[in-house]
Structure 1
């Protein structure tokens, strides 16, 4: 089976983008997703995104983690917006549907601004935070984010029984004078990604409790992002926007083995 694809990245968070307006992508697809994301046997990516027609909005975005599970993806949404524009489906403004419902967004030059849903609850866990920004995120404050053993420390929190059975993403936040630095262990990927949009957003909201004001500038291993918001009281955030670049890397056609030939 041959699949045409485009590769996009948003601050190093990379995705296989597929124009699925004809609904040709296989429905029983977890092994196909895993193959496409495999960096040695397939294309290589942190996730796969389908773009489909929508009866009411500009388009539908379906995001898959490498393990085939679905979730909201902030950087993936920004890349999907850029891809939809390249396909001629939208201009510089859009309303689209993804895993957690309907979102709007706009593009200014190379920067894509993605509007997330309001956040109504912030759980304080000692010096740590738990915030759901469309995907669940544990935020841990650290002195030196570069020194964190991401896989071992992140997976221990990700699989902690208090987050069972679904687990959580885990972010490590270091405060700096004019910005924060963030590294993320992503569930579904089960490792570190160079950037995580919903994680960066959760960290920026957490930073508001550390005397940072909107917009919060965030440094990731893959580049700079910005998160703006309005804080209402101690628990409620609205008008949350994740902003940063979304760039096409390349496009191609990949030969996907039949399912019983896909390496496990």
Structure 2
């Protein structure tokens, strides 16, 4: 057995186990069963995912992300903000960062608007699929977006699971976002997350997809610097982006990230 030091972080209620591997390797990512157990809310620490902070040549750090099911995941926007906050707590105090995530390089910076907020530049979105009653796109992770007249009576886990496992997405799965159809801002977004296989309080790549779908549904004109506030069950986030038809660039996911607690356990 060996002693594992861990840290628990959350970004609008999306919570993560953070492990510092900047100087030595604790986990190599092959420990699927262990990672799943660590994320279990009854038999482990409890989290929506686990993140390894580790060095990578040419970058300030690498964010190696694992879903609660123990498998490596795709990009996690809330997790990225938590990773930047974690790196800062370990002494990597900079005004901006260049790091590597599951979907490639990203920039990050401290927010000039709100204390305790971090801003992550997301990957460009160059294609949006429009169905009869949905939008589908990849914002670093695949996301299905559907607008609803009301959200609070919706069974997010039942409806989300049905879409996530239907024939269209069965091969690789998708995250599912239900968005308030009201034109007023902030948007309200409820998300079912692939890999967690449950509703989470917030999803960074999900609110990014919801904001993009909103601009298309309401036919916002092409312009730089569109700002869309988004309300999740775990708190408020903000998306800023440049829009040109169905192409989106300079997408920044902005929101809080903070340490919840830290501890040790034997593995």
How far 1:110 sits from its partner (Å)?
A: 0.9
- Aligned residue runs from structure 1 range 187-226, under 5 A: 187-211=194-218, 214-226=226-238
Quick check: 2:185–2:230 contact (8 Å CA) kept in 1? no
Aligned equivalent of 1:9: 10
Quick check: 1:183–1:194 contact (8 Å CA) kept in 2? yes
How far 1:41 sits from its partner (Å)?
A: 0.8
In the alignment, structure 1 residue 252 sits paired with structure 2 residue 263: yes
How far 1:90 sits from its partner (Å)?
A: 4.0
Structure 1 range deviating more: 22-31 or 49-58 = 22-31
Aligned equivalent of 2:173: 167
Quick check: 1:116–1:133 contact (8 Å CA) kept in 2? yes
Q: Partners of 1:192 and 1:27 in 2: how far apart?
A: 25
- Aligned residue runs from structure 1 range 113-132, under 5 A: 113-132=119-138
Q: Partners of 2:102 and 2:26 in 1: how far apart?
A: 20
TM-score normalised by structure 1 residue count: 0.94
Q: Partners of 2:34 and 2:219 in 1: how far apart?
A: 42
Query: Any gaps of 5 or more consecutive residues in structure 1?
Result: 257-264
TM-score normalised by structure 2 residue count: 0.93
- For residues 9-65 of structure 1, the C-alpha deviation after alignment (integer angstroms, 9 at most, x for no partner) is 000000000001211224421111111101111100000000001111100110000
Q: Judging changes above 3 Å, is the alpha-carbon distance between structure 1 residues 27 and 62 closer, same or farther for their aligned structure 2 residues?
A: closer
Structure 1 range deviating more: 55-64 or 23-32 = 23-32
- SS of the residue corresponding to residue 91 of structure 2 reads coil
Quick check: 1:59–1:89 contact (8 Å CA) kept in 2? no
Q: Partners of 1:71 and 1:103 in 2: how far apart?
A: 14
In the alignment, structure 1 residue 60 sits paired with structure 2 residue 70: no
How far 1:152 sits from its partner (Å)?
A: 0.9
Aligned equivalent of 1:186: 193
Quick check: 1:85–1:92 contact (8 Å CA) kept in 2? no
How far 1:178 sits from its partner (Å)?
A: 2.2
Aligned equivalent of 2:223: none
- SS of the residue corresponding to residue 168 of structure 2 reads helix
How far 1:89 sits from its partner (Å)?
A: 2.3
Q: Partners of 1:5 and 1:212 in 2: how far apart?
A: 45
Q: CA RMSD in A?
A: 1.2
Aligned equivalent of 1:95: 98
In the alignment, structure 1 residue 230 sits paired with structure 2 residue 242: yes
Runs of 4 or more above 6 Å deviation? none
Q: Partners of 1:219 and 1:28 in 2: how far apart?
A: 35
- SS of the residue corresponding to residue 152 of structure 2 reads helix
Query: Any gaps of 5 or more consecutive residues in structure 2?
Result: 221-225
**Quick one: which of 25, 38, 41 aligns to 2:40?**
38
How far 1:175 sits from its partner (Å)?
A: 3.4
In the alignment, structure 1 residue 79 sits paired with structure 2 residue 91: no
Quick check: 1:58–1:90 contact (8 Å CA) kept in 2? no
How far 1:6 sits from its partner (Å)?
A: 0.6
Structure 1 range deviating more: 205-214 or 129-138 = 205-214
Aligned equivalent of 1:105: 108
- For residues 77-104 of structure 1, the C-alpha deviation after alignment (integer angstroms, 9 at most, x for no partner) is 0100111111112412000001010000
Quick check: 1:52–1:59 contact (8 Å CA) kept in 2? yes
